[in-house]
Chains A and B, each alone.
Chain A
Amino acid sequence: MGKQIPIVDYLAIDDGPPHLVAWEAVDSGALYFDRRNADANGGGTEFRRKKLGTTGMVRSFTIVNRGVPGVPVPYVSALVDIDGGGTVKANLLNTPPDPEHVKLGMAVKMLTFPAGTDDDGTEAIAFAFEPAS
């Protein structure tokens, strides 16, 4: 297998099964996916890494029919409340992209997939969710 790299640095692919990892503010418990200067909730500057769960629930979604060039449509964009804490935005795969199949509150689980390969042969690994059952 060639070299792989996560699409974003909050996706861990080389620490056991793939999972998301957040910055947790020590004082307030707020979770962030981006590089932080301080905690926008409590104001503190101490953070620790927190491994997030791989299952969750769809709290909102949209089905994108007109998107940016190069990205196939339609696709489902979902906001997922992760079991154990945290909310993330991702695509919802392995379900027909229509409101008859995608439901608010549906249980989902995370998966990873190759999103592209660069000119050095490095594969970008992305994450998404799919129905849990």
Chain B
Amino acid sequence: MSDDKSSDSGDNVWILGTHMTKFGRHGDKDLIDLASESALGAMKDAGVTIHDMEVLGCGSLFNAQAGVGQQLQKQIGQTGIPVYNVANACATGATALRTVLLTIKAGEADMGLAVGVEQMGKGGLLGAGGKGDRGRKVYEPSGRYGSVMQVEGVLGTGLMPGVFAQAGMEYAYENGGVEFEQFAKVAEKNHAHSTLNPLAHYQKQFSLDEVMAAEMMSYPNTLLMCCPNTDGSAAVVLVSEEKLRTLSKDQQKRAVKISASALTTDPWTEHAQVQPDVNTLTRNAAKKAYETAGVSPQDLDLVELHDCFATAELIHYDNLMLCPPGEAGKFIDERGPWRDGQTPVNVSGGLISKGHPIGATGIANVYEVATHLRGEAGDRQIEGAKVGLTHVIGLGSACAVHILEKAAV
């Protein structure tokens, strides 16, 4: 671990405050209600106000053109600071955070606010796209593939449960087999973990048999192995190290260091022309983050990774190097990612049970890890946690990895 290696440089960025709403269905609130709640909560937690903010990053994927950052300002404070509205698939929230972090590193701000928010309702399956049948039907080639009709379900599937099922099965193919039961164990774990998290969308434990017997969505992902569509928001206040040194001892004590922030896209691979490669960009981001932080996977006390589906979590054990290459199935068999295991993974309940409000997810996992590093996670606290990693990936693709550390300023 780096300990004081990078903190000596003085250009570190720290988390001063963080907050997330309860994840779930918030039909009685709108998008800005949720964003306001997390933003005001994060600033209160940090002991600062909107007047201390010098930049705002706002992530909301489904409302990318709505100026959500400015709408938020009109509720919590129009101070004239720059706003960056970002959309970057499921890495949207993490990208908003990184935008504020880079602004601080560039010296344009000492303190800033990053907010992620999404209101998804019961959105159904994502990823179908394609052509609907409207009016008179005449086959005409269109688009980059010259398709004449909707190809979903005719030329394979692009629905999310299927895409990530295929990613998991591809891992099984390349690594000598991973069984349905092993994928299901991931969901068994995350549902169990969520029972300790009052902010999770669902807090219900399911047995392995119940997970496997649930409605099959896209083999091997059953309904209980898929993340729900969720409403929610999360926010962080970031501060430069120089500024942090001027704040109170209590603020300094609770601050969490961002030891690494890595953002990648998918490099060209042949297979990715028809099936998104969620592995290479995750491996690249993880490698960069570990190197930047001077941290090894064995140093991690907890990880919040992108378990949009159980099949996804399993392959990211390997991509994030939490297990030896090819041994992700063995890792879950040996309870390595359980909260009392070798490297606790998704002790929040993960996307599978906590929920996945897309724009908020990449900040919510930072909230979770930071809360453990502060020793403030209550019943689900990982005792003595000092280093944690967050990971999100969105198809298209974008991946963000952050490494957070409990450290003295």
Contacts and interface: CB of A to CB of B under 8 A. Distances in A.
> A and B from one assembly?
yes
Nearest to B129: A68
Contacts of B139: 5, 116, 118, 120, 122, 124
Given A60-B173, A62-B218, A77 B162 contact: yes
A28 B151 CA distance: 29
B169 interface: yes
Given A41-B268, A119-B137, A62 B169 contact: yes
Interface in B113-160: 125, 128, 130, 136-139, 141, 144-157, 159
Given A40-B268, A77-B166, A124-B149, A65 B215 contact: yes
A13 to B, nearest CB: 12
What is the predominant secondary structure among interface residues of chain B facing chain A?
loop
B162 A62 contact: yes
19 contacts: A7-B147, A7-B149, A8-B147, A31-B273, A59-B173, A62-B165, A64-B217, A64-B218, A67-B153, A67-B157, A68-B128, A71-B154, A75-B153, A79-B156, A87-B270, A89-B156, A90-B155, A104-B173, A119-B136
A77 B156 contact: yes
B154 A30 contact: no
Nearest to A72: B153
B202 interface: no
Given A33-B273, A99-B180, 8 more contacts: A10-B146, A61-B166, A63-B219, A73-B153, A78-B156, A91-B154, A118-B138, A124-B139
Nearest to B272: A87
Contacts of B153: 64, 67-68, 71, 73, 75, 91
Interface in A39-85: 40-41, 59-68, 71, 73-75, 77-79
Given A7-B148, A40-B268, A63-B219, A104 B169 contact: yes
A60 B125 CA distance: 21
Nearest to B219: A63
Contact of B217 (A60, A66, A68, A75): A66
A115 B155 CA distance: 10
B263 to A, nearest CB: 19
Contacts of B167: 60
B6 interface: no
Interface string A1-32: 00001111110000000000000000000111
A6 B173 CA distance: 31
Contacts of B220: 62, 99
A108 B153 CA distance: 19
Interface size class of B (residues with CB under 8 A): 35 or more
Contact of A62 (B146, B157, B173, B215): B157
A118 B271 contact: no
Contacts of B152: 67-68, 71
A88 interface: yes
A124 B137 CA distance: 12
B216 A65 contact: yes
Contacts of B170: 59-60, 79
A91 B169 contact: no
Contacts of B161: 62, 64, 66
A111 interface: no
A65 B217 contact: yes
Nearest to B271: A87
B138 A120 contact: yes
B298 interface: no
Contact of A64 (B159, B270, B274): B159
